[in-house]
């Protein structure tokens, strides 16, 4: 996948150079192209912001440098949709992340100051996305989150061990609890089933924990109709054990 990044602070994206995402970049499964609006400013001091019409605190990103940067990004990635990270955007869920990961190319616009001039959004932006209902100082950290989530979905990025299929949180269910050695920590033993060697019992226990924890912590994720007969049975067992 080819990703164009329009940002005043491209250095922030070096945070992607680690772990599984870092390897995907090394192997060119994802290729990042940077376009810094400051490099495109025709202002003699390379300014990229200006005072808001109507007054008030804060500055607004100017259209000219961003539009020039987007034009360059589009010349490099002609079919890529332009995505603007903003608290006003549609809140991202895993299904949208999966859809985005199927695109051959994407262009991300990262806002600073109070954001970009609304007319630039009208002219150049295809989708406005938010990563959740909280406020950040710039779009870059939201963009990092989104690039990480998208890259994990690309074929060959995750090994068998933590394959995306195996990923416990696919958007509709929480993960089961994990344990490693030693067998006893602070007087707390590992659940006996996990050391039993009975792989079927372990799979059932994990499914039951995943369903039970989702029921306890995120009940809105559980639509009981879509549970299989076995899943329904395991969740009922979990609920019964809670009430004891």
Contact residues: ligand 4H7, CB under 6 A: 85-87, 111, 114-115, 130-132, 134-139, 142
Residue 131 Cβ, how far from ligand 4H7 at the closest point, in Å?
4
> One of 167, 172, 231, 237 is an active-site residue; which one?
167
Active-site residue, 114 included: yes
Active-site residue, 206 included: no
Closer residue to ligand 4H7 (CB): 137 or 186: 137
What does the DSSP 8-state code read for residue 225? G
> One of 27, 114, 198, 230 is an active-site residue; which one?
114
Residue 134 Cβ, how far from ligand 4H7 at the closest point, in Å?
6
Name residues whose C-beta falls within 8 Å of residue 3's C-beta, 6 or more positions apart in sequence.
30, 31, 32, 33, 105, 106, 107, 108, 147
Report CA-CA distances (Å) from 240 to 207, 233, 234.
16, 11, 10
Closer residue to ligand 4H7 (CB): 151 or 209: 151
> One of 49, 65, 152, 206 is an active-site residue; which one?
152
Residue 108 Cβ, how far from ligand 4H7 at the closest point, in Å?
11
Active-site residue, 87 included: yes
Name residues whose C-beta falls within 8 Å of residue 29's C-beta, 6 or more positions apart in sequence.
1, 151, 154, 155, 156, 157
Residue 129 CA to residue 88 CA, distance in Å, equals 7
Residues 217 and 174 sit within 8 Å (Cβ to Cβ): yes
Closer residue to ligand 4H7 (CB): 114 or 236: 114
Active-site residue, 112 included: no
Nearest to 14 by CA among 161, 140, 166: 140
Residue 232 Cβ, how far from ligand 4H7 at the closest point, in Å?
36
Beta bridge partners of 35: 6
Could you give phi then psi for residue 132, rounded to 5 degrees? Answer: 155, 170
What does the DSSP 8-state code read for residue 173? S
CA 137 to chain CA centroid, Å, is 18
Q: What angle do CA 219, 224, 229 make, to 5 degrees?
A: 130
Residues 5 and 108 sit within 8 Å (Cβ to Cβ): yes
> One of 10, 52, 81, 87 is an active-site residue; which one?
87
Closer residue to ligand 4H7 (CB): 131 or 149: 131
Closer residue to ligand 4H7 (CB): 115 or 212: 115
Residue 47 Cβ, how far from ligand 4H7 at the closest point, in Å?
18
CA 238 to chain CA centroid, Å, is 31
Could you list the active site residues?
Answer: 87, 114, 152, 167
């Amino acid at each position: 996948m080819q990703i164009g990044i329009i940002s005043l602070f491209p250095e922030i994206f070096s945070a992607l150079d680690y772990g599984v995402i870092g390897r995907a970049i090394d192997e060119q499964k994802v290729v990042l192209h940077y376009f810094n609006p400051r490099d495109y400013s025709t202002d003699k001091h390379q300014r990229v912001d200006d005072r808001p019409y109507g007054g008030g605190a804060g500055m607004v990103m100017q259209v000219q440098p961003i539009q020039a940067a987007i034009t360059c990004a589009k010349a490099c990635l002609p079919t890529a949709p332009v995505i603007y990270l903003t608290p006003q955007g549609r809140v991202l869920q895993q299904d949208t992340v999966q859809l985005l990961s199927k695109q051959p190319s994407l262009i991300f616009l990262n806002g600073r100051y109070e954001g970009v001039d609304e007319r630039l959004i009208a002219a150049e932006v295809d989708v406005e996305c938010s990563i959740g209902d909280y406020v950040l100082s710039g779009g870059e950290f939201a963009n990092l989150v989104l690039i990480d989530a998208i890259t994990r979905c690309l074929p060959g990025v995750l090994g068998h061990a933590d394959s995306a299929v195996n990923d416990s949180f696919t958007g509709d269910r929480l993960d089961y609890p994990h344990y490693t050695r030693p067998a006893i920590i602070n007087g707390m033993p590992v659940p006996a089933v996990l050391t039993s060697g009975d792989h079927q019992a372990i799979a059932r226990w994990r499914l039951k924990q995943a369903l039970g924890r989702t029921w306890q912590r995120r009940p809105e994720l559980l639509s009981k109709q879509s549970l299989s007969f076995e899943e329904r049975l395991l969740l009922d067992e979990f609920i019964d054990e809670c009430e004891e």
